[in-house]
C-alpha cells in the first residue's frame, strides 16, 4: 500500500541545524534501502501557492500566502505493508525534528493512497 505523508511545520526562527539535516538524510537513505520510501521533497512557502475551491457551485481561486500558522513544508510517499509501517517511518522523522531542532513544532498527516490494485 502507498501512503502520502504531508508535513506541516512552523519554523522557530532559526535555520534547521546541520545535525538534523544529516539525520534526515540518513533516515531517508535507510527508508529507501528498505524499499519503503518512493519519493520526498520540500514544498515552497504558500506565498507561491494557490487554493482552488468549489462552494455552492462557485469556483474560487485564491493566491497565497495563507493564514495558517503552520505551512505545508514537505511530503513523502511510502510503499509499505501497513499504515502502522508508514506511521512508524513518519514518527521517526518527527522525532528527529523534536530532538534536534529546539522550538520546532509541526504535524504530519499519513494518508493512504488509493489505486486500482487496492
Please classify residue 37 by burial: count the beta carbons closer than 10 Å to its beta carbon, then call 0-12 exposed, 13-18 middle and 19+ buried: buried
Q: Are 112 and 1 in contact (CB under 8 A)?
A: yes
pLDDT surpassing 90 at residue 90? yes
Band of pLDDT at residue 118, cut at 50, 70 and 90: low
E strands, 1-115, where?
A: 2-10, 37-42, 50-55, 58-63, 71-79, 105-113
Phi, psi (deg, nearest 5) at residue 81 = -80, -30
What are the pLDDT digits (tens) for 48-86? 999 999 999 999 999 999 888 788 999 999 999 999 999
CB-count exposure of residue 71 (10 Å: 0-12, 13-18, 19+): buried
Mean pLDDT of 88-98: 97
Give the confidence band of 13 by pLDDT, cuts at 50, 70, 90.
Answer: confident
What's the pLDDT band for 117 if we cut at 50, 70, 90?
Answer: low
Query: How far does Cα 67 stand from its chain's mean position?
Result: 19
In this structure, are strands 50-55 and 58-63 parallel, antiparallel, or unpaired?
A: antiparallel
Hey, what domains does the chain have and what are their CATH numbers? 2-113 (3.30.70.1060)
| Mean pLDDT to the nearest integer, 44-49 | 91
Residue that wins the pLDDT comparison between 91 and 69: 91
pLDDT for 68: 80
The per-residue pLDDT for range 22-44, each reduced to its tens digit, is 999 999 999 999 999 999 999 99
Length of the chain: 118
Amino acid at each position: 500500500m502507498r501512503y502520502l505523508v504531508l508535513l506541516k511545520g512552523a519554523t522557530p526562527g532559526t535555520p534547521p541545524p546541520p545535525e538534523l539535516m544529516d539525520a534526515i538524510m540518513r533516515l531517508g537513505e535507510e527508508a529507501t534501502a528498505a524499499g519503503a520510501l518512493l519519493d520526498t521533497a520540500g514544498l515552497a512557502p504558500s506565498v507561491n501557492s494557490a487554493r482552488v475551491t468549489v462552494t455552492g457551485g462557485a469556483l474560487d481561486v485564491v493566491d497565497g500566502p495563507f493564514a495558517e500558522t503552520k505551512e505545508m513544508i514537505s511530503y513523502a510517499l511510502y510503499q509499505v505493508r501497513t499504515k502502522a509501517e508508514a506511521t512508524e517511518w513518519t514518527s521517526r522523522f518527527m522525532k528527529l525534528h523534536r530532538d534536534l531542532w529546539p522550538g520546532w513544532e509541526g504535524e504530519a498527516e499519513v494518508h493512504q493512497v488509493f489505486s486500482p490494485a487496492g
